[in-house]
Structure 1
Amino acid sequence: MTTMNKFRVALAAAALTFTTATVSVAQTAPLKIGYTSVEYVLSQMPESKQIESQLKDYSTQLKNQLDTKYTEYQTKGEAFQKGAATMPDPVRADKQKELQNLQQSIQEFQQSAETSLQQKQQTLLKPALDKLQQNIDAVAMENGYTYILNSDGASPVLLHGPKEGDVSDLILKKMGITPGANNTKVATPAAPAPSVVPAASKTKTKTKK
């Protein structure tokens, strides 16, 4: 199983919750817009390393469970191939049914593991996202920004902006983090995926006469 270092994809849905931070200002105040890279700020937060570690551990647990299921399938499949020709029809049918059930179990577990891994990631990210939102709001209020936009994503909200409008470092400093000190990005583990499982129902054997 590979680990994809593309936090942007996993963050897309979660980041929508704070794409825009609105601050109440006097109607006579000029409109002031800032922007930040949510991905960059999160990668600088110390929580990112812990999230990455926990995701890797959880992903490994799922992979180990899936490997156990697949090993059982392979072992029984090989035994079936060797002995199928000499098995009575009822026994051979039972063995084929058992392999089909194991195959289905592997496929269902893989789908469940993908969902479970996504849910685990969202759970681990939520405290960091909540903390980030609070600090975005604070920086906006303290510096008079009417809006703060998120410049990340496949379809970024911000297409162009002056450097002085980037409040990422202000947000980090607000959290007591030195910008650029942590270059680690939260990794998104790929869901465990076994090799293609052959369909047991397609096994051809010679019937003993």
Structure 2
Amino acid sequence: MKKLHLTFAAVALAAASFFAPSAQAQAPLKIGFTSVEYVLSQMPESKQIESDLKAYGTQLEAQLKTKTTEYQTKLDAYQKGAPTMTPVIKADKEKELQTLGQSIQEFQQTAQQSMQQKQQTLLRPVLDKIQKNIDAVANEQGYTYILNSDSGSNPILLHGPKDGDVSDIILKKMGITPTAPSTAPVMQAPKAQAPMVPAAPAGKTKTKSK
């Protein structure tokens, strides 16, 4: 019986020594959250980013408009002169229009990609600055995790207490006084669009005989 008590005591002591270090090492979890879009919209850099993106989008739209105008001018000239064109000239004009139309379609596709790349280039330094201050606030305030509360197809945070929102603390850390949320978040890049391009004539085009 005495041996049984000693064995139990040894097991209990071993268990206590196993759990004690882990219990001491584990600090209580403190979870906060922030809206990166909100923080970004409050930063003075966001206005410059929006301005730069708008200017870049305007340049793309101007190039697209030039291409579209050239196409329309040549299409009008083709339609007006087609009845008197020889088959060889007619085929050459049709090929030229098809090439121009294809060039415009390709430009429309790459313009949006170019806008997105431009946006990422402009945002990267600002997002790095936000991350640096999130890390600083987390260390100073004792947060174990800080989640992103921005809405999206797969939001990271679905619910949280208001006092867990550290967005304004992050802004104050950067020397920014929080104001009302921006009505036009800079996270959305403007799209470069142009008027629809009429379909180019293809192959043998029928003309009215006089």
Scaled by the length of structure 2, what TM-score is found? 0.82
Deviations 1:130-186, CA, capped at 9 Å, x for gaps = 000000000000000000000113121111111110000000000000011673632
Aligned to 1:188: 189
Higher relative contact order (CA 8 A, sep 6+): 1
The one-letter amino acid paired with 1:120 is K
Aligned to 1:198: 199
Sequence identity (%): 67
Aligned to 1:101: 99
Does the 8 Å contact 2:32/2:147 carry over to 1? yes
The root-mean-square deviation of aligned C-alpha atoms, in Å, is: 1.9
SS in 2 for 1:199: coil
Deviations 1:67-117, CA, capped at 9 Å, x for gaps = 000000000000000110110000000000000000011011111111111
Q: Structure 1 pair 96/191, CA: closer, same or farther in 2 (3 Å)? A: same
Q: Which of 148, 160, 163 lines up with 1:150 in the alignment?
A: 148
Q: Structure 1 pair 182/153, CA: closer, same or farther in 2 (3 Å)? A: closer
- Measure, in 2, the Cα distance between the counterparts of 1:202 and 1:192: 29
Aligned to 1:111: 109
SS in 2 for 1:200: coil
SS in 2 for 1:100: helix
- Measure, in 2, the Cα distance between the counterparts of 1:196 and 1:92: 20
Structure with the higher fraction of residues in helix conformation: 2
- Measure, in 1, the Cα distance between the counterparts of 2:191 and 2:70: 23
Does the 8 Å contact 1:35/1:149 carry over to 2? yes
- Measure, in 2, the Cα distance between the counterparts of 1:125 and 1:148: 20
Runs of 4+ deviating beyond 6 Å: none
Aligned to 1:177: 176
Q: How does 1:9-158 map to 2 (within 5 A)?
A: 27-154=25-152, 155-158=154-157
Number of corresponding residues: 184
Q: Structure 1 pair 109/193, CA: closer, same or farther in 2 (3 Å)? A: same
SS in 1 for 2:25: coil
Mark the runs of 5 or more structure 1 residues left unpaired by the alignment: 1-25
Does the 8 Å contact 1:46/1:182 carry over to 2? no
SS in 2 for 1:64: helix
Mark the runs of 5 or more structure 2 residues left unpaired by the alignment: 1-23
Scaled by the length of structure 1, what TM-score is found? 0.83
- Measure, in 2, the Cα distance between the counterparts of 1:44 and 1:152: 15
- Measure, in 2, the Cα distance between the counterparts of 1:90 and 1:200: 15
